[in-house]
Structures are given as C-alpha cells and as structure tokens.
Amino acid sequence: MPVKTASSSGFCFGVRHAVKTAHQMLEDKVSGKYSGDLVMLGELIHNEIVLKELTDGGFVICSDASEVPGGSTVLIRAHGVPPEQFRILNEKGCTIVDCTCPFVSKIHKIVDQAASEHKNIIVTGTYGHPEVVGICGHAEGHGVEVAVIGSVEEISGISFPLENSILVSQTTFSADIFNNICANIKNKIANICIFDTICSTTENRQREAAELASASDVMLVIGSAASSNTNKLLGICRSRCDRTYLISDVADARKIVADGNVRPGDKVGITAGASTPEAIILEVVHTMNENDVKTNQEQTDAIFAEALEQLASVKRNAVVKGEITSADADFVYVDVHDKSEGKIPRKEFNDDPDFDLDKAIAEHQEISVYVKSIKNSDQGKEIILSKSQVDFEKNRAAIQEAFENKTPIDVKITNVVKDGIIGSYGGIDIYIHKTQIGVGNPGELKDYVGQVMTIRVTKFDTEKHRLRISGSHRVLEADERKAKAEEIWNNIEVGKHYTGIVRSLPDFGAFIDIGGVDGLCHNSELSWKRIRKPSEVLSVGDEVDVYVKSFDPESKKISLGYKKEEDDPYYDIENRVPVGSIIKGTVVRLTDFGAFVQLEPELDALCHVSQISTKRLENPAEVLKIGDEVMAKVIKIQPESRRISISIKEVAPIDPVEDEAAEDEAEAEAPVEDAAVEAPVEAEAPVEAPAEEAAPETPAEE
C-alpha cells in the first residue's frame, strides 16, 4: 500500500518550543536553578506520553493560578492565559516562564488595543478552548462585549452591533469557515477591523491535509480527540475521504489494519495534529509499511530515507527495542544499537514482580524502551531509558478492560493521601477513598501501605488527557455480603448459632454481622446482669458466638442472643442450692422488709425481716449491716420469678443487742432470789412458792 505523510505533520513551532523549554526547566531544577515547585499552568500538550514524562520529572499541573503554590516557577503553555492569571501569579511571588505562542501573543495585543478603544470583540473559534479563554481575557476591564462564534449561523446570535467591532480568530480555527464568516459580515465590519490570525502553520497543515485526503483511499489523522487543531484536520479529511480515522498511537493504527479497513493497494495518507510527537508519527508510518503489499517506490523513498536516518541514532522521546545486557545496584543496561548503551533505573524492575531480571540478563532478552533523555559529555553519551513508560499503555489498557468488564484486579498500596490510599497497578496509580477500603472503620490508613488489595475499578476518566482512576474494595465485600445474605435468609432458623463480628455498639445493644447480614443483640440479651451500655460486655471487632432468637424475612430484621444458659446464676439452681440446705452469704442490701444476701456472684437471696431474729424487728438494720456474713437455711426457690427465700432465724437467729442487756440484768438479780428458794429445797421445803415467784420472768423474757 502506498503511504504518504503530510510534510506539516506534528509539533508546531509553539508546542515544540514549549516542550523543549519544559525539558530544560527540569534540567535546571536538578542543577539548583529553581528552588520552588515546577508548575505547568494547564496541560502543556494533548499527549499522555509527553505529559507523563514531564510530571514524572517533577512538574505539577494546575488548572488555575489560584491553585499554584506561592514561590513556584510556572510555565505558561503556548495557548496563553488571561492577564488576570499573570496578576495572581505575581502576587504569589511566582517566577513565570511564558511560552505563549508568538501568533497567540499577536492576537492578545490586537484585542488589548481594540478594547482600549472601546470596540467590541468577535472571536472565531471553539468556545471554552484555553486559547480562546486567554484571548477573551484581554478584553476584560474595558467595558466592551465579546462574542465567540464557530460557524456562519452563529453570527445572527451576536447581541451587540457589529459596526463597532473587530474580528480575530483562534490560531487553529478552520481557514475555510473563517473565510465564509468574513464573507458574511464584511459589509458590517470594515476590512481594517478583520484580522486573519490563523497560524500559517495551521493553514499549511489544513491545506496539505485536504490535498492528501482527496488523493487517498484511507486517511489517518494522528492526535487527540481533545485537541482543537486535530479535530479541524479530522473534519477536513472526512469531507474528502470516506475512510478517515482518528488514531492516537501505533496501536490504533494496527487495529485499523487488523479490522480490514486498509486493503492491499490502498493509498494511505497520514497527517498529525500539532501536539503529536515525531516518534509516534514515525511508528505509525513504519506500521503501515510493514503491511505493504505493493509499495509505490516513488512515494515511500522519502519515508524510508527518514526512517533510516532516525534509526541511525537513538533520539529522545522515541520508542526503540534493545537487549538487556547487565545490571548493577542502580541501573539495568540495554543495548539499543547505539555507540553507547542505555540504562534504566533498577527500581522500575523492582516494581514489576513478574519480570525475571536475572533470566533476562542471561538470555539478553529484547524489550521495548522509551528514550527519556540523551546527554553528551566528555565521558561519552548517557542515554536514560524507561521500561515503565512503555508498559504504561499496556497496563492502562488492562485497567480499562477491567473497568468495562467489572473484573477485580490486585493492586499494591503504595501511599496514603488526604482522604484515602493509592494502589499501584503496573506503575499506574489508582485512588481508593477511605470509605471504599471496606465495610466499617478502616482504621489507620498507613497500615495498608505495602499490602496487596483486590479492588474493582469504579472510575476510568481520560478527560483533559489526565488519567484519573478510582477503585473500591468495599464493593467487592458488598457483593460477597449479598451472596452470603441470600444463603443466610434461605437457611435461617430460631436457635441456630453463628460466629459473628461486632460492627457497632449503640446504647441499646450490639449490631453483629453474622456473615452478610447484621442482627441486633439487645442489652438484655448480652448479659444476665443489668448493664447500662453494651460496651461493658463487648467491643467493636470482637468475634462472638450468637444464636437466633427471632427473625422477620420481610423487614430483614434478626434478633440475636449472646448470653448463655449455663452462665445464668439461676441455672440448675434447685440442684445447686436445694431447699433445706444451709448456706453462707454476705449481706449486700437492706430494705424495710428484709435483707438481701449474696450467695454467689450475681445470685442474691432474700431473708424476710421476720426470718432474721426470734424477736420482733421493725427494720433489719437493727441487727444487720451491709458486709455482715450470715448463715441461713434455704426455705423456698422460685426459678421462674428468679427468687430465693432464706431464713437466718432457723439456723442462727440474730436478736437485738438491747434485749441481751436486759436479760443479763435479770440474770444478775436472780442469784439473790435463788438463794432464798434453794434453802428450803435443801430443807425439803415445798417448791411451789419459788415457781410462782419465777413465773413473772417469762413475760419479761418475751
């Protein structure tokens, strides 16, 4: 298949200058020229590989000046920014490296001048595009109106008079559409107020693309769907060639061939947007030539000459093949068919547990590598390579497939951030919010670092060419719990035991996970003794044995029991403390009606006030106090009402101290009377009289 590439493909001057400046800033950062952060105000280029290389090197991307840390060194991309952004950066003490494209800067000056003369501004371009936002920003503060239009039809929507207006264009806007707009408003705007600010490179690129598409059977446009100039090229080519395809890299080109969209003998045209690196264009060209059936020598001689020149020496940003030859503590060395070997930081291999480095060295294994930088010195050429950047696309595709198919993947937790943790899959970061780590409180996030976690990819966002991926382990747990819950509800029955985990402890009880379903164990079911809070018995995370007391499948509620029958103080009480047995206990509480005596821990018996003394007592406190040890007889047991009645009187009655003193006084007087009585007895005198005298003592004793 004859393959022809547009000569104006790839980086434009503005993008090439900005990318070159960014790489130089990274080198200057290493040498100590910059002390603060390196910040890219907006994405420098619509290309993931280049962006990743710059961010890996140390750049941070901020979308607005308000997000930039004070004292940073800030790179302004080729699109330019509104004056307000410069003001904010200057107030923060930032160093500004302005890479605004000269063509864009020219538009800024035109708009500044017109706005100061109180002329309204019309911009042809894509509303919201960074370049258009920057252009419009230069009209602010002058009291003029601004309109952004993208077609002839939108002219009628302009709300202000056209007579006192100027017309400028986004540099990458379609030249054909711009000319049509000019033709429709030329009677209302003077020619001196119409400024054709479309970049000459853009015009040449669009003209060549149109000519190439008209002469081709298949047209490949290399670039990003988020790129304005790439979309303009795509529209131009599709209007002239039915089989026009937008591709981002060589993998897309191979798929188009594999799907049969390119046939033997087809004339293939290739063009590329202003943000497409030369290395990607060359890879696509090589791929199409590898599928060549009958190559038109005249069309491809120039391409092969360029390819041979490219292969003659390794160039930065290229993807090349090489053989692993050796390694030391810091680097792995690769023969990339250059005068000097390239080297890859060894940590890139340490992060890939599936790669057998020793075997690769022994077998001189061939791998694809990305050329990050080339430096020439007195000691020779130093070529820094990266394996991980080549692996990035492969792993990215695997993650995307897992996201689309909801397939779990394993990630290694590498870092802790403000609200979660970071998992790594082949060097690609996946954010896991702390609420998605698992069911319940995740605990200390730092404890997860180094662990391998199985997750489901819940977000895969490539908008604005910044890959944002999120994952969740909790959703997998939820699926597992759902399956277990179905099994539990299919087999649940009263009295069935489960091993559960305490999930939470509200004041009224404990919620316990019995394997996918939470049941409530009320405070009254936690302990035989009275408790105020469940935390007196259990802690969150405890593994416990519980049983089902009741359940309702409709409301999905389960009541659980935790306290065991054998732990009940009244368990088998009639055999342990039979009626009639003599027991020993301690007085623990006194009431008007009796004394409570503790027989065992949590087992109290009541001795009624009438069963304490042989005398009549008004209150047990007359003869007892808390802490007294007593002996008593068990006279009644009522297990159903949890009552035990005992009698102290039947074993060792406790009479009031006052009565004992009166008895002692009576006994002290008795010897005098007895002496008078006993004398006649010894003289065989009658005994009736002493008996009569002693009789009154009985009431006194009572």
> Would you name the residues annotated as active-site residues?
131
Place of tokens 């035990």: 644
> Could you tell me whether strands 366-377 and 342-345 are parallel, antiparallel, or unpaired per DSSP bridges?
unpaired
Q: Which of the 8 DSSP states describes residue 450? A: T
C-alpha 91: how far from chain center: 34
Please state, in angstroms and rounded to a whole number, the distance separating the CA atoms of residues 270 and 192: 38
> Could you tell me whether strands 268-272 and 3-5 are parallel, antiparallel, or unpaired per DSSP bridges?
parallel
Please state, in angstroms and rounded to a whole number, the distance separating the CA atoms of residues 247 and 516: 47
Structure tokens at 311: 């292969």
Please state, in angstroms and rounded to a whole number, the distance separating the CA atoms of residues 12 and 580: 108
b vs e for 145-154, b when ≥16 Cβ sit within 10 Å of the residue's Cβ? ebbbbbeeee
| CB of 102 closer than 8 Å to CB of 199 | no
Let me know the angle formed at the C-alpha of 505 by 501 and 509, rounded to the nearest 5 degrees. Answer: 100
Which run of H or of E encompasses 303?
helix 297-312
Overall residue count recorded for the chain in this entry: 702
Nearest Cα to 13, choosing from 200, 168, 169, 233?
Answer: 200
Q: Which of the 8 DSSP states describes residue 25? A: H
Helices and strands in the chain: count of H runs, count of E runs: 19, 31
Q: Is 504 exposed, middle or buried (0-12, 13-18, 19+ CB in 10 A)?
A: middle
